[in-house]
Amino acid sequence: MDMFWWVALVAVVLLALVAAVVDGRGRSDRGPRSRRPRQPEGSTRPPSRPSRPAEKPSGPAGRGDGRTPRAGEVWWADVPYEDGPGSKDRPCLVLSVRGRGRGRTAVVAKITSKHHEERPGVIALPAGTVGDQRGRQSFLETDELREVRIGGFRRRVGAVDAELWERVRGLGAG
């Protein structure tokens, strides 16, 4: 009879250990969930139909605080795909910031290293604009804007020059 209690106790402890390991793995980034495509931090919407009124951008942003994107700045962010779920970490130009608190979003134009001549509104940017190690030339795609939650921005590159900002500043206002 004494042996039965020890076996039962060991079985309960082992079950608890297995449950803790399985639960911890499911909550970590190393578990099976990390293999799924990431959900976008924002949404795609046509540039001519804003979901909410935008704050008026005043011009190329100054230095900023390095944590909150401002209109006129280039950032690396988790930008949603245009044609389906998921997103990609890529450079973008912040056109406007709207909302308050956790619901804040920014309207951005994506920046790519591939020139798409067939797309309207593509603007060539000087080499090194996105702060990559290779210093490649980049292209701003203004024909399709994206909305990104503030939490999706990870690294500030810098402000665009005043001439470029004057060309695109009205895009994020709706």
Q: What is the C-alpha to C-alpha distance for residues 25 and 21, in angstroms, rounded to an integer?
A: 6
Using the structure block, give the residue that is written with the tokens 């402000």.
Answer: 159
Mean of pLDDT values over 26-47: 46
* Tens-digit pLDDT profile for residues 84-134: 888 999 999 999 999 988 889 999 999 999 888 888 889 999 888 888 778
Q: Is the pLDDT of residue 53 over 70?
A: no
Q: What is the C-alpha to C-alpha distance for residues 3 and 8, in angstroms, rounded to an integer?
A: 9
Over the chain, what is the mean pLDDT?
77
Using the structure block, give the residue that is written with the tokens 């704050």.
Answer: 55
User: What is the identity of the amino acid at 80?
Assistant: P
**pLDDT value, residue 147:** 94
What are residue 88's DSSP bridge partners? 79
**pLDDT value, residue 32:** 45
Closest CA relative to residue 142, chosen from 86, 92, 83:
92
**pLDDT value, residue 155:** 93
Cβ neighbours for 165, distance < 8 A, ≥ 6 positions apart: 59, 60, 72, 159
Tokens for 58?
A: 């005043």
Q: Report which of residues 148 and 43 the model is more confident about.
A: 148
Q: Are 70 and 157 in contact (CB under 8 A)?
A: no
Q: What is the C-alpha to C-alpha distance for residues 130 and 70, in angstroms, rounded to an integer?
A: 16
Output the CA–CA distances (angstroms, integers) from residue 166 to 36, 73, 131, in the order listed.
Answer: 40, 13, 22
Tell me the CATH number for domain 42-173: 2.30.30.110
Per domain, the residue ranges of the chain are 2-35, 42-173
- Cβ neighbour number for residue 65 with a 10 Å cutoff: 8
Q: Are 94 and 72 in contact (CB under 8 A)?
A: yes
